[in-house]
Structure 1
Amino acid sequence: MAVFATDNQAGSVALVLGGIIFLLMLITGNPLLTLGHGETQMRFAARRRRVIQEAVEAPPREARSALEALNTIDPRASRDSAFIRTSGMVYDRLVQAELIRLFPEFSIREQQNDGPSNFDIIVATPDHHSIFVELRSLQNPVSSNLVRQVIGMVSSSVMGGLLVSNQQLVRPAGMLLRQAQQNGNKVAFVQWRDEADSDALKDAVLGLLRQVGYGSLNEE
């Protein structure tokens, strides 16, 4: 889930060209949104796979734009398992890149597979205060089960835990989260969809770090 940086211009160009081809097909009236069969549908499915594959290798912001365009032109893409999986991966990269931008003085790293817990990201300060960040790109609001899972992760860790999702909490999940906080669990939630939500992301990270003892942060 590391932030992807590449000098592979061919991949970027192919991604842009893929988007242009989709738009041209739409403008010229080819049956993008039909449920037809045959060679046309096969070509369209192949083009969808190509855009998704290119998104895997593209920088995260470019990949996000391509996937959003694909979903607009081809609503069926949102039910494609490869599209869902790639969207989640791109979302993780976007959040990690934003955390690195917001906190250049911190260590923002992925949890290793052999770690004691299954956290997505660990945010560590120079004086070794740390929290974990659990990332979830979802198609539906955040459930109580997911919040309960993150609370359990916090309970079994010395770190605070932040759940970040593109969706809002369902009402019972919000109540569960508040109850856990009142009981002393160092857990928080923030909805992050794009850079417009980055102030809330920054505040949530700082709030949790203060709870685990980091008090000498020089905020800009």
Structure 2
Amino acid sequence: MSDVSESNDESEIVNEPEGDPLSGWSRFAAGVAGIALSGTGAAAVFITNNQAGSVALILGGIVFLLILVSGNPLLSFGHGDTQMKFATKRRRERAIEEAREASPQEARRALDVLRTVDPGAGSDVNFMQTSALVYERLIMAELTRLFPEYGVLEQGVDLGADLRVVTPDQRSVSIKMKYLTQKSFVSAQYVWQLLGMASISVEGHLLVSNRALTRPAAELLSAARRRGIKVEFSRWRDEQDNGDLHEAVSALLHTDGGAL
């Protein structure tokens, strides 16, 4: 499966506490408590000299009203910094799990929606791994549609490539996918890995990513092709990039020495 190796450059992700969404009765109770505390605090401002206590009552009422509106339990309330954390992790994990079970197209839409409504999901390791898995499934589905007369085979973890396209006369192309969620470009490091695979194989090798190559990576790839090494790169983001993907695979399949 394509990896998400750029996540090591990001700040360490701290696991948030989990919590289930509140029931209707719990939200009703939180609302009653919020109104009562807020009302008591507001009244206390005018009839007592304990302003700190009045403010605390009002803040407490606001907290319960926030619980009523959000439907999530309060997991943390820090005094001084006044930080509140609501349970979003379990809801996020449930959405990610559903995406893993859905078709590639439905999974992509679900992950896009999740990223929109929950921006923090983009830095979640589980989200990034699922996005890479869905990306691989999308490309496999598109290759199967683009080359219906060929075999599109999923490779094992230890074989280097993620997919292999095989023709009836046993010509083949190995495909390595790099789905990047944080970095903007595909570095020369990934091209060197591709060249390493190509140096011990007679078949063509294709690197596919949702990001573009850096200039050094593009120059390295061009130099390798000029030396006769059967390597190509295709940037694939969605179905609009199918033409480039088809061209790259076809070019590698029709070079000399592509037989297994």
TM-score above 0.5, yes or no: yes
Q: Secondary structure at the match of 2:87?
A: helix
Given that residues 159 and 212 in structure 1 are in contact (C-alpha distance below 8 angstroms), is that contact kept between their aligned partners in structure 2? Answer: no
Q: In the alignment, what sits opposite 2:133?
A: 89
Q: Secondary structure at the match of 1:201?
A: helix
Q: In the alignment, what sits opposite 1:74?
A: 118
Please give the residue correspondences for 1:40-55 in structure 2 after superposition, counting only pairs within 5 Å.
41-55=85-99
- Runs (5+) with no aligned partner, structure 1: 2-28, 215-220
Q: For residue 45 of structure 1, report the CA deviation from its aligned partner.
A: 1.5
Q: For residue 42 of structure 1, report the CA deviation from its aligned partner.
A: 4.4
Given that residues 100 and 130 in structure 2 are in contact (C-alpha distance below 8 angstroms), is that contact kept between their aligned partners in structure 1? Answer: yes
Q: Secondary structure at the match of 1:211?
A: coil
Q: In the alignment, what sits opposite 2:251?
A: 207
Q: For residue 136 of structure 1, report the CA deviation from its aligned partner.
A: 1.2
- Runs (5+) with no aligned partner, structure 2: 2-68, 78-83
Counterpart CA distance in 2 for 1:173 and 1:30 is 47
1:166-198 deviation line (CA, Å, top 9, x unaligned): 000011100110011111110000000000000
Question: TM-score scaled to structure 1, two decimals?
Answer: 0.77
Percent identity, please: 46
- Structure-2 change in CA distance of 1:131 and 1:212 (3 Å): farther
Q: In the alignment, what sits opposite 2:210?
A: 166
Pick from 154, 167, 175 the counterpart of residue 133 of structure 1.
175
Q: For residue 38 of structure 1, report the CA deviation from its aligned partner.
A: 3.5
- Structure-2 change in CA distance of 1:124 and 1:46 (3 Å): same
Q: For residue 37 of structure 1, report the CA deviation from its aligned partner.
A: 5.1
Tell me if 1:157 matches 2:201.
yes
Tell me if 1:118 matches 2:160.
yes
Counterpart CA distance in 2 for 1:99 and 1:212 is 22
- Structure-2 change in CA distance of 1:129 and 1:149 (3 Å): same
Given that residues 129 and 212 in structure 1 are in contact (C-alpha distance below 8 angstroms), is that contact kept between their aligned partners in structure 2? Answer: no
Structure 1 vs Structure 2 CA RMSD:
2.3
Given that residues 152 and 166 in structure 2 are in contact (C-alpha distance below 8 angstroms), is that contact kept between their aligned partners in structure 1? Answer: yes
- Structure-2 change in CA distance of 1:164 and 1:195 (3 Å): same
Given that residues 207 and 234 in structure 2 are in contact (C-alpha distance below 8 angstroms), is that contact kept between their aligned partners in structure 1? Answer: yes
1:59-85 deviation line (CA, Å, top 9, x unaligned): 111000010111112111111000000
Q: Secondary structure at the match of 1:161?
A: strand
Flag as ranges the 4+ runs of structure 1 deviating above 3 A.
Answer: 29-32, 36-42
Counterpart CA distance in 1 for 2:75 and 2:204 is 52
Number of residues paired by the alignment? 183
Q: In the alignment, what sits opposite 1:24?
A: none
